[in-house]
Amino acid sequence: MALFKQMTCDTCYRPLANIGRHNRYYFCKIEDFERISKTEFIRNQAKYSNPYEPRFNYDTSECSQLHDYVYCYKFDNYPQANGYSTWFCSNECALEAAIRMNCILFYYDENDRSVAMITPQLKEINREIKEPPYTPLLMMEWPADQWLQQPKDFQDLSMYGSNNVYPTLSLSKVNLVVPNRKMVSSLRKMFTTPSFAKNYFGNSSSEIMKAISEMIPDNYDESAQIDFGRRAEISWFITDKQNCFVGFIHITQKYKALPYKWVLEFGISSEYQGQGIMSEVLPKVVSFARKEGCDEPIYAVSEDFNIACHRLFRKFPNVQEIEKFMIDQYAGGRMMHIFIIPFLEAQSSCR
């Protein structure tokens, strides 16, 4: 098992046994869609077959015994190598995303040896032409050797296992548990305590406090499950041994100032501070991440004046500390401390 090495389906979040061109889908936003008769399509060829626009038309009239429809799509662009893409375990899951996001999804279908499409109307089109509901629409005119991915891009992920259970950790003083809705109000209360907001966001003005309150939704627990499913963040609530809320900690790739890097963030309610809780929790979380396949540096960012936080991270062997001027929406520009826990050395505990 290696959670940090797994790739998951972006709809059902099941870990994928492998990834490659067969299950990587590229999104194109639909700007206009019309289902028209074949007669109307022929009469308006200049519109529906405009070579200067990214368009796709699927004619069901020759195969359908129901109607003579042509499904006409105009999208924002043709698939781009640097465009938005993600992985799904099946066309069923891809279709859910196509409908939800009003997009056409392109991928390479190895069975049909063709670039293929999933559109929001896929089931309807297949019903017209008497095909199974999730049969993709093929683009045989797109040569396989010109597709965005090739067979060499295949990656076997089976060695990382298929476990998808949200992890929990039991420590001597506290437990790290799956976020639950009953404790969300306690999380919000902690975040909107002026002293906490000052240490965490660098600002505790009334305007900032209002924004902070609104950033923690009532369904925070659902968001945490989704982020874990996508392997974008693992967020734990910290509880004492009586299951009372103590604080939170998460390791995330959603930190805007450090994109695509794993960042540690945490917070403890005032009544639990000074008890050595984070001295135990931080190395445990880093050790967990390493055992689960996180072989990259782990970052943490702290306010310049948050000396207690600095002391915690300085306990890690060979940790790097950088002072850097940073800007955010809460406290504007100021000097911050960035701590970097390297991979090899960070596998040992804090001293």
Structure confidence by residue, pLDDT tens digits, 135-151: 999 998 899 999 999 99
257 exposed, middle or buried (CB, 10 Å; 0-12, 13-18, 19+)? middle
Nearest to 179 by CA among 246, 235, 244: 235
Average pLDDT over residues 188-210: 92
In a domain, 163, yes or no: no
Residues 207/194, Cβ–Cβ less than 8 Å = no
Is the predicted pLDDT of residue 305 greater than 60, yes or no?
A: yes
pLDDT of 117-127, one tens digit each?
Answer: 999 999 999 99
Average pLDDT over residues 213-229: 94
In a domain, 192, yes or no: yes
Considering Cα of 127, then 100, then 185, then 338, what sign does the dihedral take?
A: positive
Domain boundary among 112, 131, 158: 158
Residue in the structure block whose two tokens are 């067979």: 151
Question: How many C-beta neighbours within 10 Å does residue 36 have?
Answer: 17
Residues 147/115, Cβ–Cβ less than 8 Å = yes
pLDDT for position 213: 86
In a domain, 195, yes or no: yes
Residue in the structure block whose two tokens are 């790290």: 176
190: phi then psi, degrees, rounded to nearest 5: -65, -45
- Please check whether residues 10 and 128 belong to one and the same domain: yes
Give the span between the Cα atoms of 248 and 250, in whole angstroms: 7
Give the CATH number of the domain where residue 183 resides: 3.40.630.30
pLDDT for position 103: 98
pLDDT for position 68: 93
Angle (nearest 5°) at CA 287 between 281 and 291: 145
- Please check whether residues 200 and 324 belong to one and the same domain: yes
Is the predicted pLDDT of residue 346 greater than 70, yes or no?
A: no
Percent of the chain whose predicted confidence (pLDDT) is above 90: 91
Average pLDDT over residues 162-170: 95
- Please check whether residues 139 and 191 belong to one and the same domain: no
Is the predicted pLDDT of residue 350 greater than 70, yes or no?
A: no
Which has the minimum average pLDDT: 23-37, 62-76, 290-304, 334-348?
334-348
Residues 200/191, Cβ–Cβ less than 8 Å = yes
- Please check whether residues 176 and 82 belong to one and the same domain: no
Residues 341/263, Cβ–Cβ less than 8 Å = no
- Please check whether residues 109 and 228 belong to one and the same domain: no
- Please check whether residues 151 and 181 belong to one and the same domain: no
In a domain, 164, yes or no: no
Residues 92/59, Cβ–Cβ less than 8 Å = no
101 exposed, middle or buried (CB, 10 Å; 0-12, 13-18, 19+)? middle
pLDDT for position 349: 42
Residues 312/284, Cβ–Cβ less than 8 Å = no
Domain that holds residue 142: 3-158
Q: 348 versus 268: which is more confidently predicted?
A: 268
Is the predicted pLDDT of residue 312 greater than 70, yes or no?
A: yes
How many Cα neighbours within 13 Å face the side chain of 349? 6
pLDDT for position 338: 98
Domain count for the chain: 2
Beta partners for residue 176, in sequence order = 169, 238
Q: What is the pLDDT of the chain when averaged over all its residues?
A: 94
- Please check whether residues 89 and 176 belong to one and the same domain: no
What's 8's DSSP letter?
Answer: B
AA letter at 338: I
pLDDT of 270-303, one tens digit each?
Answer: 999 999 999 999 999 999 999 999 999 999 999 9
Is the predicted pLDDT of residue 161 greater than 70, yes or no?
A: yes
pLDDT for position 348: 42
Nearest to 177 by CA among 241, 271, 110, 265: 241
